[in-house]
């Protein structure tokens, strides 16, 4: 699945926003929001939402820029792929469908109630 192909009219800004919103959601749903402190090394957090962690650090201006090859590699993927990876992670780890805007109790419930993995499935 690729969000760019699925929605060719979505602008780059829309996708950037979508990625950021999904990263924020994952940061919360994973419990990282309770762990995170501005002095922490962002490299200790999952690369899928690490750029969001960096943005928190930049806001507090406590973090110097550091070498992060893993994040560089992740960001070399096109934004649709990054979104897709987050989408799949949320579904498999937390039974959360970003498109339903809902966290299900189990994998079974996710498969039963969520219409599918793509945006088109939800319209």
Between 20 and 99, name the residue whose CB sits nearer to Zn ion.
99
Between 66 and 120, name the residue whose CB sits nearer to Zn ion.
120
Q: Which residues pair with 103 in a beta bridge?
A: 96
Count other Cβ atoms within 10 Å, centred on residue 42: 20
* C-beta of residue 95 within 8 angstroms of C-beta of residue 106: yes
Minimum CB separation from Zn ion for residue 90, in Å?
Answer: 10
Minimum CB separation from Zn ion for residue 95, in Å?
Answer: 10
Between 63 and 99, name the residue whose CB sits nearer to Zn ion.
99
Q: Say how far apart CA 23 and CA 79 lie, in whole Å.
A: 12
Q: Say how far apart CA 102 and CA 89 lie, in whole Å.
A: 14
Minimum CB separation from Zn ion for residue 91, in Å?
Answer: 8
Q: In the numeric block, which tokens belong to residue 59?
A: 């806001």
Minimum CB separation from Zn ion for residue 86, in Å?
Answer: 14
Positions that interact with Zn ion (CB under 5 A): 97, 99-100, 114
Between 2 and 109, name the residue whose CB sits nearer to Zn ion.
109
């Amino acid at each position: 699945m690729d969000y760019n192909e699925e929605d060719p009219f979505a602008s780059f800004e829309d996708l950037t926003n979508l990625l950021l919103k999904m990263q924020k959601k994952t940061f919360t749903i994973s419990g990282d929001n309770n762990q995170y402190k501005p002095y922490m090394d962002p490299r200790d957090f999952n690369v899928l939402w690490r750029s969001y962690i960096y943005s928190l650090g930049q806001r507090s201006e406590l973090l110097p820029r550091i070498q992060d090859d893993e994040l560089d590699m992740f960001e070399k993927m096109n934004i649709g792929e990054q979104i897709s990876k987050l989408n799949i992670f949320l579904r498999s780890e937390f039974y959360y469908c970003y498109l339903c805007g809902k966290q299900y109790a189990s994998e079974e419930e996710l498969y039963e109630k969520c219409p599918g993995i793509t945006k088109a499935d939800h319209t």
